[in-house]
Chain A
Amino acid sequence: MLDAAEWGIVALSLKVGGVAMAVTLPIAFALAWLLARVRFPGKVVVDAAIHLPLVVPPVVTGWLLLLAFGPNGPIGAWLQDWFGVTVLFRWTGAAIAAGVMALPLMVRAMRISIEAVDRRLENAARTLGAGPWRVFWTLTLPLSVPGVLAGAVLGFARSIGEFGATITFVSNVPGETQTLPLAIYSALQQPGADALVWRLSCVSVGLSLIALIASELLTRRAGRGLRVL
């Protein structure tokens, strides 16, 4: 079984993945809604930009985050001046990297579930006296919830597996930014750490499998919930 330090790695991974998912969730939902429901000029560019982390080499994404959040970067300088904090070499930075990498997957899943909400039901609600906000809260959101959760769980799975952007952006600091994949990578560099690699890899595969099964079950639920009489 795992020792205390290894449980610490698992706990850190879950914390980074959980925070990344929680912070990215509303952003991903807003973007998914925008792409599913609003026509605006430049939509195709916004759509492509959101999907960039899926296709750009993760090391490039990590480097761009470093530029943005570094001491001289626009966001990094702002965080330092206003709050006196930096995300470099911190678990918060790892969560940012994980969230950015998970964003496209989450937006895709959520967009599909929002597009699947029957607009005719929303029209019926309007004729019953519901304004656009009430329609959103009582129909659009609840009817897309299973798909939204499926996207969130998928994003969480992606987050705890994040490697390239994380190691480039916040390095590989044990106890701070060393999540499961980074710890496995470090163990691979040490001679005689095969057993550790095995143990951490098994945990990693197990967590991903659980998340994917949960996501799949939620997606099926979404299909059932949207069946309209």
Chain B
Amino acid sequence: MKSSNALWKDALSGKMPENLAREVDIYETEITLRKQGKIDERLFAETRLRRGTYGQRYDNGQRYDGTKFQEIHYPSGELTKGPNTMWDAPGMQRIKIPGGGLNADQLETMADLAEEYSDDIAHITTRQDFQLHYIHIDDTPSLMRRLAAAGITTREACGNSVRNVTACPYAGVCQDEAFDVTPYSRALAKFLLGHPDCQNFGRKFKPAFSGCAQHACGLTNIHDVGFIASTRVENGAEKRGFQMFAGGGLGAVPYMAKLFDSFVPVEEILPLTQAIARVYARLGEKKNRNRARIKFLIQDLGIEKFKQLVLEERKTLPYDPRWTDFVKDAEQFTEAPLAAGGESPSTDSAGFKRWLATNTRPQKQPGYVVVTVALPLGDITANQLRSLADVVRRFTKETIRTTVEQNFVIRWVSQSDLAEVYKALEAVGLGDPGAGALVDIVTCPGTDTCKLGISSSRGLAGELRTRLAESSFRMDESVQHLHIKISGCFNSCGQHHVADLGFYGVSRKMGGFAVPHFQVVLGGEWEHNGGSYGLPVVAIPSKNIPQVVTRLTERYVADRATGETFKDFVKRVGKVELKKALEDLAKPPADPTDPSFFSDWGDPREYTLGDMGVGECAGEVVSSVEFDLAAAEREVFEAQIALESGEIEKAGQTAYHSMIHAAKALVKISDPNISDDPVQIIGEFRTRLYDTQKFWDPYAGGKFANYLFDAHQKADQAYTGDSSRYLIDEAQLFIDAAHSCYNKMGTTVGV
């Protein structure tokens, strides 16, 4: 779209690393070939995805305007950039930032790109990446060249590839770390980028590094491979290594990473990861992308068998000097401060005091602190990025990193500079207190821009943030450090499973109309690298979620035992009791004609207006289906309770029956005489809803139906703690999908 697109290549000639320049040239050629129809749209889609160039909402050429679907007639007509993805439709560009590390020039480049190609906003993701939205694909080669000139690549920021290698943003300055993981994470990122052994995965592959086991910063438990720094004494000398984990991942059904090895020497982390990549590429699922993450392979094989295969693979690898070339330098790696360390400032300013309390953290190096710049919803403007560049140049040697909480941390700030740093940040709207606190809500893009979004996660986060901005600081101290994380759908980009208060978007029908909802997810743990995963308790209409937050936090303050964490509080009080406390909020509004209830936060379009034409003759069936789906939800909740009380077999069986119950509810619409026999229900479900694709999710396809078929196939096998836990998640997702299917049938069945 930009007039200058043809000029950037020459303008930056000699300023880009040769390999990155070549990469962009190839990509640009592929764009030309696609425009000429010489590359298949599916192949082109994977090509652009591997450069971090995503589709965005409404890119199929349709948009629901609140009353009807409108065709969007883009100037490029029928030209597509992927299946059902129009060429001219705005897209998202993800930009990988290994370990979140940036310098001031790179911040300024990001500012320029946000201003010239996007809408003046850069967004930080939950994996330390940047995202720019509303980008035209024709602009992406110029954008990538400008990034390349700043030393940044978007290669493998998406697609079935090794994604951003994340790392604790406090690495090197944290008081609790074993050692600084920065050089090791960088070495792995560099080694795996474009590696031939990483080009044939069935799905993405996400590595993460943490300096310690007890904090959350690295989130190694939720990653495909995770490394936690560790040391041991060998021959009287301290030896560096990593506790290595594999097979973690959130997504629809979260898996906790398994311990692969309690101590992998630093010389072995690259070859072992390479061996894992090879085993994953060879044995991982390719056809069914819903079971293609490495977590499924490890689940199927068992960690011991997987480890055996990896170690055998390791023996076959041809030696690569890069495995160890970095090690000597890594041991010497250190960052330096710009100014001498100082004393903590004294102040009478309430605002400064509050900021000092929440947004600064002492480094292990005396006299220095890490300053957190808390970004609302992970967003920052172009001008703010430039001001941030000024701050990091003025007070540090450009030591700034992004975080998985969608913030920045400025490291190596002398305590004596804190008053000036605060003043500079506050002047440009970057001095908000509350970093890492209740008000610092993490959210994925949700329905704002994501094609998969079901509910408005950003809208809800914005609303909660507004309400909590002042009030949260007056709340009890115990509440102030709780974590709220929101995803717009079950895919967990907002990391709701590891929050104290997690929410993910679902839709439900009320009085014949679709209403945006969020599942309330409780029991997760952010600390200990995402130490435990929460489970959904009850689905609540979006507009009532602020009341959920109020009730749960007030209850916690009132009933909390001394020193009790929120996770332990949830466990002690029990989900049955907490669900009961929220149940009235799950009901339809007192005034069923209140239109605000049927729209989402920040989006005035009526969520359900398209369903208003449902004929009255649907009434009885509607009631019956809703009743049955509600019963299925009750069952899956009972399964959760059984699991928590150690009744593993009962938990698995109950979860399975909840799925059968939900399947029967849908089958009953067309076959009112369906029996209770699971075999018959499965058969009819397959014929009437799966084979006809009526149950299919627009993006996940038959994924949720396959959960049912798998559960049925394994119904006579004994359940384990893990398998019943996974089945509960799958059952909840199947029921959510049943609700969606039923909502869709309401518009198309014409009953």
Q: Do A and B come from one complex?
A: no
